[in-house]
Amino acid sequence: MIDLGRYNVLGVWINAVDYEGAVAKIIDAAHNRRPLGVSALAVHGVMTGVLDSQHRYRLNQLELIVPDGQPVRWGLNLLHKTKLKYRVYGPNLMLHTCEAAAKEGVGVFLFGGKQPLLDDLEAKLLAKFPTLKIVGKLASKFRTINAEEKAELVQAIKESGAGITCVGLGCPRQEVWAYEFKDEVSMPVLAVGAAFNFHAGQLAQAPSWMQNAGLEWLFRLLKEPGRLWRRYLYLNPAYLTLLSLQWLGLKTTDPASAKKPDREILYG
């Protein structure tokens, strides 16, 4: 098991862990009813924090951010000599967490997406882990919600008996959700994004060789060029440039410099 602590990558705290180390933290927090905000960030996710000080604050309040993308793992190794051999891919982290939850008898709540997606996801997860307890699922309203609706959602999750909540709202909405809800539900909240679509069988994943080479972004760009070209063709070079500047000691962002948000957004 690897758990080397947190390191500054462009002003965002990233945990140098492997799957075993990450799952151990999640299951421990679930058993002890302790808030634990969890996200798996690739380049796009890190850059959302780089470009928005308030969102960087939110990210840095999450207790566990794993290196989802190979370039983020490379960044940890380059800047901090962590010698991580593998990334912690968000969709796989969700599966490892569900496997451990099934063995430990921890209930899982699914939030986000549309109802048919959640139904397919539940069926696929139960087929893979028959003893997994999916104790509740709620589709997103695809809008912001008010304080009363937030309280109702928190109550539904807590009364379900869940020990872990998995959230699939897409980056950065799901990280905002984890930041705003984790303390009130008092359990691990996993922001897992496209994992819902992957595991429900509604979205294809990149081949293993592309994932290992750090080219998953290219696979997704080829699949959805109209939606993603700005994200990858702008953010990827920006990430590499800023990473080089931090490595050379020319520009380092202090995570403590982030600005605390002045209000909740309440994605629902």
- pLDDT tens-digit readout, 54-89: 999 999 999 999 999 999 999 999 999 999 999 999
Choose between 221 and 126: higher pLDDT: 126
pLDDT average, residue stretch 142-166: 96
- Stretch 209-220: mean pLDDT: 74
Q: pLDDT at position 122, please?
A: 98
156 token code pair:
């539904």
**Biggest CA pair distance of the chain:** 52
Q: Which CA distances in Å does 63 have to 43, 124, 146, 219, 268?
A: 19, 29, 26, 30, 22
| CB contact at 8 A, 42 and 172 | no
Show Cβ contacts of residue 142 under 8 Å, excluding neighbours closer than 6 positions. Answer: none
Asked if pLDDT for residue 100 goes beyond 90, the answer is yes
Q: How far is CA 93 from CA 102, 156, 159, 193, in A?
A: 14, 25, 25, 12
Instruction: Record the tokens describing residue 233, joined without a space.
Output: 């063709």
Instruction: Dump strand ranges (E) for 103-198.
Output: 108-111, 134-138, 164-167, 188-191
**Cis omega (within 30 of 0) on the bond before 225?**
no
Q: Is 224 exposed, middle or buried (0-12, 13-18, 19+ CB in 10 A)?
A: exposed
Are 47 and 71 in contact by the 8 Å Cβ rule? The answer is no
28 SS3 class: helix
For residues 127-145, average pLDDT: 96
Over range 240-257, report the average pLDDT. Answer: 97
Would you say residue 152 has pLDDT above 80? yes
Supply the mean pLDDT for the chain.
94
| CA distance linking residue 136 with residue 122, whole number of Å | 10
Between 45 and 211, name the one with better pLDDT.
45
Residues written for the chain: 268
Query: 15: closest CA among 5, 24, 29, 23?
Result: 5
Q: What is the pLDDT of residue 127?
A: 97
* pLDDT bucket at 211, cuts 50 / 70 / 90: confident
207 to 212, 241, 253, 254: CA distances (angstroms): 9, 27, 34, 36
Any idea what DSSP says for residue 113? S
pLDDT band at residue 154, thresholds of 50, 70 and 90?
very high
